[in-house]
Amino acid sequence: MMTEAQALEILIQIGAVIIGDHIVYASGLHGIDYIDPDKLYPHDAKTSQLSSEIAREFVDDGVEAVVAPEGGIALARGVAYHLSQQKSANERTLAFFAKKTKDNQFVFKHGGASKLLPGRRALVVDDILTTGGTAKKVIEAIRAIGGKVIGLGILCNRGRMPLKDVSYPPKMFSLVKLNMNVWTQEECKRIGPCSRGVPVNPNVGHGRAFLGGRR
């Protein structure tokens, strides 16, 4: 069984998580940590390793399908694969993804999900939980077509979401939890990395645009 510290170290090693830097986010806020889950997915072995830890938490919950928002399909497939290893040859956990629409909702258009999910026990997985909005909409999309959501598995949780913010899944598990402090630019000058003269990282977030605009 992998500890949270070991999981975090894997994410740091492959550049999916940056700790203790000076980051400017898309919102314009400043912080010291950064998460880029897309850096994980080219590493199949690491993705499988982390997926297996999420699967471990739900192995006794009768999961019949794993569902992710479209960007996290590799995670869904990894979790579904490891759950399937615990079943007989005639039982397999299916993997699906929900597609985001122009009005920021989620629907099922691929893989026969709209026909196969109704009535099945579904685990929702996502690589990063920030506000909970994406997970909430995916959970509600599953319920809307008759699926039964049994839990929510998160690779990296950067917020402290109450269950109501993710539409009350019966069970929620986060492999890694990060309490990411953020500041406005003025606050950063007083108490954040700006106040200590830490240079902005130009290679992630909106650092490069921020530095260009400042000049």
Residue 156 lies in a domain: yes
Same domain, 174 and 187: no
Please check whether residues 27 and 98 belong to one and the same domain. no
DSSP 69: E
CA distances from 112 to 22, 85, 139, 148, 159 (A): 44, 22, 17, 17, 33
Same domain, yes or no: 158 and 196: no
Task: Say whether both 117 and 155 belong to one domain.
Answer: yes
Between 52 and 178, residue with greater pLDDT: 52
38 assigned to some structural domain? no
pLDDT tops 70 at residue 214 = no
Question: Which conformational region is residue 102 in: left (phi greater than 0), alpha (psi within -120 to 50 degrees), or beta?
Answer: alpha
On whether residue 44 sits in a domain, the answer given is: no
Going by DSSP bridges, is the β-strand pair 148-157/121-129 parallel, antiparallel, or unpaired? parallel
Q: Are residues 165 and 184 in the same domain?
A: no
Q: Is residue 131 part of a domain?
A: yes
CATH for 142: 3.40.50.2020
Structure tokens at 68: 């992710």
The 10s digit of each residue's pLDDT in 17-52 is 999 999 999 889 999 999 998 899 999 999 999 999
Same domain, yes or no: 149 and 74? yes
* Residue % of the chain over a pLDDT of 90: 79
Specify whether 17 is located in the same domain as 115. Answer: no
Domain membership of residue 66 (yes or no) is yes
Is pLDDT above 90 for 215?
A: no
pLDDT digits (tens, 9 = 90+) for 88-123: 766 899 999 999 999 989 999 887 898 999 999 999
pLDDT at 90: 67
3-state DSSP call for residue 141? helix
Residues 8, 60, single domain; the answer is no
- On whether residue 42 sits in a domain, the answer given is no
* Total count of domains within the chain: 2
- ∠ CA 201-205-208, nearest 5°, is 55
Residue 201, domain extent? 1-33+180-215
Are residue 142 and residue 190 in the same domain, yes or no?
A: no
> Does residue 23 share a domain with residue 61?
no
Average model confidence (pLDDT) across the chain:
92
Contact predicate 34/204, CB 8 Å = yes
Contacts of 134 (CB under 8 A, 6+ apart): 69, 106, 126
Shared-domain flag, residues 66 and 151 = yes
Per residue in 128-172, pLDDT tens?
988 889 999 999 999 999 999 999 999 999 877 788 999 999 999
Query: Strands 23-24, 65-69: parallel, antiparallel or unpaired by DSSP?
Result: unpaired
Q: Determine the pLDDT at residue 86.
A: 86
Is 170 found in the same domain as 75?
Answer: yes
